[in-house]
Chains A and B, each alone.
Chain A
Amino acid sequence: MSVLLDISHIDMEFPTPKGPFTALRDVDLKISQGEFVSLIGHSGCGKSTVLNVVAGLYQATRGGVILSGKEVTEPGPERAVVFQNHSLLPWLTAYENVELAVKQVFGKNKSKAEMREWIEHNLDLVHMSHAMHKRPDEISGGMKQRVGIARALAMQPQVLLMDEPFGALDALTRAHMQDSLMEIQAELNNTVIMITHDVDEAVLLSDRIVMMTNGPAATIGEILEVDLERPRHRLELADDPRYNQYRAKVLKFLHERHSKPDVPTKKSTPAKSDAVPAHAGADIKETVDNAA
């Protein structure tokens, strides 16, 4: 199989008030068409950073990403992202959320009727036809995540990037979503990179599991090929010794080999990026607080 996506020796440094912080060092990974790859690693190691670089939302400090022979320099719909917390526009219905994407991607090539059919088809894929005219605050967390996936699928991306897509869901819903995702992937043969911290999810869904070392300067520690034939069924696999071996290998990595031997552990890490405030001046914020 030919390489579709080449993540080539990327380093990522973030400027912080205490000087540059190296989040990633020399992350190198080649992914083939139709492959399902999971990224697993401890929280804060840099999984989202890798995904954001592939998405084009971050620019790597060194190295680069090549998709179908072209370097990635900015975000685009051919690398659709399913965000961790669904990121649906709260003022639009499920249908309209998907529509925004479809209009933007296919507005020139599809007629109105074709677009409508395509939107409905994608909502149908994730079993959301019955609630497509509901707004995000009227549907459950699992349903929102489904719509997020439908929106990404509707862009017909070359690569589907998913950042802990089922992390916020309860176990039962998550199992349903995993099964749906496997069905969809079997049907459409999407290339997928999925971040997860759920070992079972990684083994069940992936062709390869990429295990990342702890940050700072996180990199790929080990890659595990999951050689289980598809379609996979969670109940049958539960008794399969191979499945349990894969599972044990990932767990072992996470427990033992999680820190890079040549990097001293417990280096002072900068504040979480999420805490960085939006750019409006602090004084402006204060005024509003007073006024409210």
Chain B
Amino acid sequence: MNTTTVIATKFSSLKLPHLDATLFSNAMRLVALPVAGILAFLLLWSVTAQNIDTSLGKFPGPAAVMEQFNALYDEHQRSREKERAFYERQEKRNAERVAKDPNYQPKIRAYTGKETFLDQIITSLITVMSGFLLAVAIAIPLGIAIGLSQALNNAINPIIQIFKPVSPLAWLPLVTMVVSALYTSPDPLVAKSFLNSLITVTLCCLWPMVINTAVGVAGIDKDLVNVSKVLRLPALRHVQKIVLPASVPMIFTGMRLSLGVAWMVLIAAEMLAQNPGLGKFVWDEFQNGSSDSLARIMAAVLVIGLIGFLLDRGMLALQKLVSWDKAAN
């Protein structure tokens, strides 16, 4: 119970029935205060923005950014409209030619318009999830192995400690060169740029998961391990029945940290390598240098923040769903 609740409860004895008082205090806590915080921030932002002059004009305030959100949405709609028109024309043309000449094999070309803001968001989301899932697939088994074996821990720990602090910007050139050298299919399944971003994300977000999983596994209650020993559970069953469930809370802590890292790393990698995604959008706008650019970048910043927040909430919801540890928050 926090102070607000206490005060509200005291008031309730005077007028309101208890339930109403609790509802009121919850509404206060969950709605009114955050809204007040956001309003104060918007005010501070618009006042500060007016006083910052850049070579591209005044720093955009909330209104300018909102305007750009609309503009970006309109651009997206227009682009979809064009795409539909393009495919319609193509279909019609093909139909006409087939009508004239039944042996004609209709050609279908893909639409190649510029990616819209929404397209970039989706690209980034797909990339971050792919990179993250690849990291999960590597990190959790590795973390379990390290957590179970002191020898393996001693062997691998120095490597983890050295690679953990490496910035994505350092990995990127190496990843790019290696992917170019090794990934030379004439008809690639996925774009090289996608692979570059994905692998960079994986390399950076691997470590928090490995470390947390290892600590979770190594820290399992000794009594639970003894239960397993008394039952003579075979190794695989021991991992499945005891180790994995016992370390689920720590594994999820690692996964949440990693997903946060992954999202930050991805934006940086997209900017640096100009791989499709939100990072490229920011970079393009920066290079573009029009009077709207800063407002559009600011719009992207807000979206990046919002997505990062939603990803974290999503992980939390997943954790609550699968974890026996109800203390998660």
A interface list, Cβ under 8 A from B: 55-57, 74-77, 79-81, 83, 85, 87, 89-91, 100-101, 104-105, 135, 137, 155, 278-281, 283-285, 287-288, 291-292
Q: Jot down 12 A-B pairs with beta carbons below 8 A, ordered by A.
A: A57-B229, A57-B230, A74-B232, A87-B224, A87-B227, A104-B232, A104-B233, A155-B231, A278-B218, A280-B147, A287-B211, A291-B208
A57's partner among B220, B226, B233 (CB-CB below 8 A) is B226
User: Which residues of B sit under 8 angstroms from A135, Cβ to Cβ?
Assistant: 324
Q: Is B289 an interface residue when CB atoms closer than 8 A count as contact?
A: no
User: Which residues of A sit under 8 angstroms from B237, Cβ to Cβ?
Assistant: 104
12 further contact pairs, Cβ within 8 A, besides A279-B153, A288-B253: A74-B232, A75-B229, A76-B230, A81-B230, A87-B223, A91-B245, A104-B233, A155-B231, A280-B219, A281-B153, A287-B164, A288-B211
A291 and B257 contact, Cβ closer than 8 Å, known pairs A75-B226, A87-B221, A278-B218: yes
B215:A288 contact, CB within 8 angstroms: yes
A80:B230 contact, CB within 8 angstroms: yes
A280:B223 contact, CB within 8 angstroms: no
Task: Compute how far the CA of A83 lies from the CA of B324 in the bound complex, rounded to whole angstroms.
Answer: 22
B232:A77 contact, CB within 8 angstroms: yes
Instruction: Give the residues from 207 to 254 in chain B that come closer than 8 angstroms, CB to CB, to chain A.
Output: 208, 211-212, 214-215, 218-224, 226-227, 229-233, 237, 241-242, 245-246, 248, 250, 253
B231:A77 contact, CB within 8 angstroms: yes
Q: Is B288 an interface residue when CB atoms closer than 8 A count as contact?
A: no
A281:B157 contact, CB within 8 angstroms: yes
Q: Is B150 an interface residue when CB atoms closer than 8 A count as contact?
A: yes
Task: Compute how far the CA of A105 lies from the CA of B230 in the bound complex, rounded to whole angstroms.
Answer: 11
A279's partner among B218, B229, B246, B326 (CB-CB below 8 A) is B218
User: Which residues of A sit under 8 angstroms from B250, Cβ to Cβ?
Assistant: 288
- Residue in B closest to A137 when the chains form the complex, CB atoms: B326
User: Which residues of B sit under 8 angstroms from A291, Cβ to Cβ?
Assistant: 208, 211-212, 253, 257
- Residue in A closest to B219 when the chains form the complex, CB atoms: A278
A83:B219 contact, CB within 8 angstroms: no
A280 and B153 contact, Cβ closer than 8 Å, known pairs A91-B245, A104-B233: yes
Task: Compute how far the CA of A287 lies from the CA of B229 in the bound complex, rounded to whole angstroms.
Answer: 30
Distance from B218 Cβ to chain A, minimum over Cβ atoms (Å): 4
A104 and B253 contact, Cβ closer than 8 Å, known pairs A135-B324, A279-B218, A280-B153: no
Q: Is B161 an interface residue when CB atoms closer than 8 A count as contact?
A: yes
User: Which residues of A sit under 8 angstroms from B232, Cβ to Cβ?
Assistant: 74-77, 104
A89 and B227 contact, Cβ closer than 8 Å, known pairs A279-B153, A281-B157, A283-B157: yes
Task: Compute how far the CA of A115 lies from the CA of B316 in the bound complex, rounded to whole angstroms.
Answer: 37
B161:A89 contact, CB within 8 angstroms: no
Distance from A99 Cβ to chain B, minimum over Cβ atoms (Å): 11
Distance from B252 Cβ to chain A, minimum over Cβ atoms (Å): 12
Distance from B264 Cβ to chain A, minimum over Cβ atoms (Å): 14
Distance from A119 Cβ to chain B, minimum over Cβ atoms (Å): 14
Task: Compute how far the CA of A74 lies from the CA of B226 in the bound complex, rounded to whole angstroms.
Answer: 11
Distance from A29 Cβ to chain B, minimum over Cβ atoms (Å): 21
Task: Compute how far the CA of A280 lies from the CA of B245 in the bound complex, rounded to whole angstroms.
Answer: 18
- Residue in B closest to A287 when the chains form the complex, CB atoms: B211
**Which 7 residue pairs of A and B lie closest in terms of their CB atoms, listed nearest first?**
A91-B324, A280-B218, A87-B223, A75-B229, A104-B231, A91-B245, A279-B150
Distance from B146 Cβ to chain A, minimum over Cβ atoms (Å): 8
User: Which residues of A sit under 8 angstroms from B222, Cβ to Cβ?
Assistant: 278
B230:A79 contact, CB within 8 angstroms: yes
Task: Compute how far the CA of A142 lies from the CA of B214 in the bound complex, rounded to whole angstroms.
Answer: 33
User: Which residues of B sit under 8 angstroms from A76, Cβ to Cβ?
Assistant: 230, 232
Task: Compute how far the CA of A77 lies from the CA of B226 in the bound complex, rounded to whole angstroms.
Answer: 11
- Residue in A closest to B164 when the chains form the complex, CB atoms: A287
Interface centre among A74, A79, A87 (most CB of B within 10 A): A87
Task: Compute how far the CA of A105 lies from the CA of B232 in the bound complex, rounded to whole angstroms.
Answer: 9
B324's partner among A75, A79, A90 (CB-CB below 8 A) is A90
Distance from A162 Cβ to chain B, minimum over Cβ atoms (Å): 13
B223:A83 contact, CB within 8 angstroms: yes
Distance from A271 Cβ to chain B, minimum over Cβ atoms (Å): 16
Task: Compute how far the CA of A56 lies from the CA of B224 in the bound complex, rounded to whole angstroms.
Answer: 15
A77:B230 contact, CB within 8 angstroms: yes
User: Which residues of A sit under 8 angstroms from B229, Cβ to Cβ?
Assistant: 56-57, 74-75
- Residue in A closest to B324 when the chains form the complex, CB atoms: A91
B230's partner among A55, A90, A280, A283 (CB-CB below 8 A) is A55
A292 and B219 contact, Cβ closer than 8 Å, known pairs A104-B231, A284-B211: no
- Residue in B closest to A79 when the chains form the complex, CB atoms: B230
A85:B223 contact, CB within 8 angstroms: yes
Distance from B176 Cβ to chain A, minimum over Cβ atoms (Å): 29
Task: Compute how far the CA of A83 lies from the CA of B229 in the bound complex, rounded to whole angstroms.
Answer: 13
Interface centre among A89, A101, A283 (most CB of B within 10 A): A89
Task: Compute how far the CA of A56 lies from the CA of B257 in the bound complex, rounded to whole angstroms.
Answer: 40
Task: Compute how far the CA of A83 lies from the CA of B147 in the bound complex, rounded to whole angstroms.
Answer: 24
B215:A284 contact, CB within 8 angstroms: yes
Task: Compute how far the CA of A137 lies from the CA of B147 in the bound complex, rounded to whole angstroms.
Answer: 26
Distance from A192 Cβ to chain B, minimum over Cβ atoms (Å): 16
